[in-house]
Amino acid sequence: MEKAIDSSKPKASHGVEDDLSNEAEELLLTLPREKNFDGTYLYQFNGVWYRHKFLYGMISTRRHFQARDSDIIVSTFPKSGTTWLKALTYAIVHRSRCAFEHSPLLTTNPHELVPFFEISYSLNKKDIPSFEHLYTPRIFGTHIPYSTLPDSIVNSNCRIVYICRNPLDQFISCWHFLLKLAHDKESETLSLEEYFEKVCNGVQHAGPFWEHVLGYWKASLDNSHKILFLKYEDLKEDTHSYVKKLAEFLGCPFSNVEEKERVIEEIVKLCSFENMKDLEVNKPGRNIPGHIPKNSDYFRKGEVGDWTNYLTPSMSKRLKNLMEEKFSGSGLAFKLS
């Protein structure tokens, strides 16, 4: 049964969020919890596991976020291609604002240009973010599952682009990311095998993986004009075609002139792993104010099939079998290499 989050309370544009803080703290005491990778807790809310800060951010997002019809939501399970899809979406949608050699993507990390609303709502509990600094159409990121999105997103004409990644690479990518964060905080961590066990039981931030992916997959089948469902592996294989498809879906297709002027190629190059990783802003030591990960933590290898370097045959078999079982009959399959 769904736990209640009261999203009907009056929405102050500014104001101390004591009510919500108290409500969230009280709620936390009632929720099942499990140790996370780094010894902190994950809390299970409506079947989904959240880190503490994100749970608060999710509740606050549901309470306060008002979608506009023109908004674009980049939605993902963590470590599935969020940074890349944010960059591509931003580059496509705002391409007429400035020449590519002056693109904000060259000097600003994609997570700053395209904020996660649940992080924005969790950063400062005193003021509700207004997002006034964002260009229209506004582009937001989120890891919130489809079933828990604010009503205004589901009921408005705003569009959602979702990217999933094969669960073996996603697991390894997440493992490296968490290891880096824990190392920076000098926290004790679970071993790869212990973390693997948690993931197979669905216990990871925003997990279970299969619930998240299936939620958006089914919604995209029911509502293909609202939700575009992409796969990291397809995007890697043929970025050009998917950039074109993304622009069409977002209502800003490339003109013949733009195609002739190789605008798609410019966007693919600008947002490529190799280009973004080497930018000064994404080098080690830089991070977005208020964010714990360093900008460089979002760029590791950017490859398909890296799982073969880490998972034992029995681990990969178990994860493949689990996914086959969970995705059976859905029509969704993953490319592993």
Q: Which amino acid is at 318?
A: R
Q: How near is the Cβ of 71 to ligand PAP at its closest, in Å?
A: 19
Of residues 28 and 293, the one with the C-beta less far from ligand PAP:
293
Q: Which amino acid is at 70?
A: S
User: Does residue 78 interact with ligand PAP by CB under 6 A?
Assistant: yes
Q: 20, 56, 81, 103: which one contacts ligand PAP (CB under 6 A)?
A: 81
Q: How near is the Cβ of 314 to ligand PAP at its closest, in Å?
A: 22
Bridge-based pairing of strands 33-35 and 41-45 is antiparallel
User: Does residue 295 interact with ligand PAP by CB under 6 A?
Assistant: no
Positive or negative, the CA dihedral 49, 53, 59, 64 is negative
Distance (Å, whole) CA 272 – CA 330: 31
How many degrees, rounded to 5, is the angle at CA 38 between CA 80 and CA 199?
45
User: Does residue 217 interact with ligand PAP by CB under 6 A?
Assistant: no
Catalytic residue among 64, 143, 205, 212: 143
- Residues contacting 135, CB < 8 A, separation 6+: 94, 97
**DSSP codes of every residue in 289-328:** TT-SS-GGGG-S---SSGGGGT--HHHHHHHHHHHHHHHT
Counting every residue written for the chain, the total comes to 337
Element of type H or E holding 136: none
Check if 143 is active-site: yes
User: Does residue 79 interact with ligand PAP by CB under 6 A?
Assistant: yes
Of residues 5 and 85, the one with the C-beta less far from ligand PAP:
85
Q: How near is the Cβ of 249 to ligand PAP at its closest, in Å?
A: 19
Q: 148, 302, 311, 323: which one contacts ligand PAP (CB under 6 A)?
A: 302
Q: 36, 60, 83, 142: which one contacts ligand PAP (CB under 6 A)?
A: 83
Of residues 220 and 239, the one with the C-beta less far from ligand PAP:
239
Q: 47, 125, 306, 310: which one contacts ligand PAP (CB under 6 A)?
A: 306
User: Does residue 276 interact with ligand PAP by CB under 6 A?
Assistant: yes
Of residues 80 and 220, the one with the C-beta less far from ligand PAP:
80
Distance (Å, whole) CA 231 – CA 137: 24
Pattern 154-183, binding to ligand PAP, x per CB under 6 A? ---------------x---x--x-------
Q: 271, 319, 322, 323: which one contacts ligand PAP (CB under 6 A)?
A: 271
Question: What stretches of the chain show up as alpha helix (H) in DSSP?
Answer: 18-30, 52-64, 82-93, 110-113, 117-123, 151-155, 167-185, 192-200, 209-222, 232-237, 239-249, 256-260, 263-270, 273-278, 313-327
Instruction: Give me the residues that bind ligand PAP (CB under 6 A), please.
Output: 76, 78-84, 169, 173, 176, 271-273, 276, 298-302, 306
- Point out the residues that are catalytic: 143
